[in-house]
Amino acid sequence: MSYRSYEDSTQDVPTEDILEHFGSDPAPRRRHQLKYKNGECFVAEEDLVQNYPKQRSFHHSCNAGPLLHEAEAANSAALSFDAYTEEDGLDEEVHRIRIFKINYHLNDDTITVNEPFVDNTGYLHGRIFRRQKVPATNRIGKPYVHWSDLNVGSDVNLFQTIYRITSCDGFTRSFLEEHGMKVNEDEELPEDPWLVRRRGAPRTAPKLPDQREFINRPPMLVYRCCWLDHMNDFHGCRMKRIFKMYVYCTDHTVALIEETKEFEGQLFLKRIGLPFPVQPDVPRRDYRWWDIRPGVWIDVFCRPMFVFECANDETKSFIRQQFGETDFGNYSSQILENGPPPTQYYNSPAILKFRCTMVDAPSILYGLHFILYYDVNRRLVNIAEEGRKTWTEGRVFLKDVDASTFSENQFAPGRILQFFKWRFNLVQSCLETDKYLRWKQTPNHK
């Protein structure tokens, strides 16, 4: 292996004359033949101008004028047009006016079509197609759509869709006029018939101040309800008890907190699903949050309670929005005395059940209570002694007694009926029979 000496290596170091002439890099620099001025490309040396050909249109058959090399240098230059299409239909739901933006890219003669986003239209928006050469309708001599085919106030067919061009921007107008085209005046975009109909529709009556905007359902609705309690320890008096009711909308559960004087804050009913009172042959279900509102009677485990007001502003605003004005804060005590409205009956019950006592009973039967059953269809009466608990049946006293001489209206609390030698005073009717008898007393029943 041979080694270079120090004297040989010094011969490669450039001299001061070379550094002064070429600088720190002795390599010859490549001369630029093109230069840019105001975004346009020119030949740097004048003697090469005649030998540098001008770039013409990509469509050799187009005689609208050369594109020159400035369009090739400005790769982002594009012509922008506003256009629309009209979809025919029988009504406003189908007959539509759709607005589009057409961009023609000068560097490669491609076209991009976009549809701006419009609220509440019901169909997709955005890009229709991007930077594609569109075949011309008549491809003889001109295979693709050229910028010379685009003008304000004219129709253009792009992939079998007719677009009506209504306007263009300032750059597009100046570009077309510089290349010998006469640009028409801008046209107004037509309005969609559906939007016109909506704008001309008569406005409804003004809403309440707290009803101008839609109020979402709160997670919990709070009401106040009352109950006329006749099963208390106050010597048979009927005591009005007031409760605050919490209705949870997520799972339709209900909780009750008492607000009666001297009982404030006590938990009356823990959070639980509240059974809805239905007929025996109807499947069981619970109350839903929309079943409870002011002015409605609800059954809280055989306790009829009247909902008379909303307990907070949030509940009041939401209920007013959903059901209108429902404030029964000034209810009368007669509503509680009358109780809930009678149930609608389309057919009379098969059995009417009463609790009765014997009139002038012998000593062996003195003080006994009886349960009387009246079969409406067979018109038969069965009487049994009452058991140890109220409304429980004990020993049979009379069985299948013919009651064809009695009418159905004679079976009511307070009436005295005689079967053979025994007379019975009807003291009380069961819950189902009582509902039916109360409904019969209403003037509108049939």
Pair (155, 232) in one structural domain: no
Distances (CA, A) of 277 to 221, 272, 385: 21, 15, 29
In a domain, 237, yes or no: yes
pLDDT higher than threshold 80 for residue 1? no
**Distance of alpha carbon 166 from alpha carbon 81, whole angstroms:** 8
CATH number, position 82:
2.30.29.170
Give me the pLDDT at residue 72, please: 45
User: Whose structure tokens read 């010379």?
Assistant: 148
Same domain for 150 and 182, yes or no, is: yes
Closest by CA position to 80, among listed 160, 186, 159, 188: 186
Residues 381 and 432 in one domain: yes
In the listed set 163, 196, 229, which residue is the last one of a domain according to the structure? 196
Name the least confident of 16-30, 296-310, 313-327: 16-30
Q: What is the number of structural domains in the chain?
A: 3
pLDDT for 55: 43
φ/ψ bin of 399: left (φ > 0), alpha (ψ from -120 to 50), beta (otherwise): beta
Indicate if the pLDDT at residue 182 is higher than 50. yes
Range of the domain at 95: 71-196
* Residues 151-178, mean pLDDT to the nearest whole number: 89
pLDDT band at 53 (very low <50, low <70, confident <90, very high): very low
User: Distance between CA 265 and CA 280 in Å, rounded?
Assistant: 36
Three-state DSSP state, 247: strand
Residue 174 above 70 pLDDT?
yes
In sequence order, the 6+-apart residues with CB closer than 8 A to the CB of 173 are 183
CA distance 103 to 90: 32
Residue 307 lies in a domain: yes
Q: Are 260 and 241 in contact (CB under 8 A)?
A: yes
Q: What pLDDT shows up at residue 383?
A: 94
How far apart (Å, rounded) are the C-alpha atoms in residues 180 and 170?
A: 16
Residues 76 and 191 in one domain: yes
Q: How many CA atoms lie within 13 A of 42 on its CB side?
A: 10
Q: Angle at Cα 228 formed by Cα 222 and Cα 234, nearest 5°?
A: 125
**pLDDT tens, residue by residue, 221-263:** 999 888 887 766 554 566 788 899 999 988 889 999 998 887 7
Q: Are residues 282 and 237 in the same domain?
A: yes
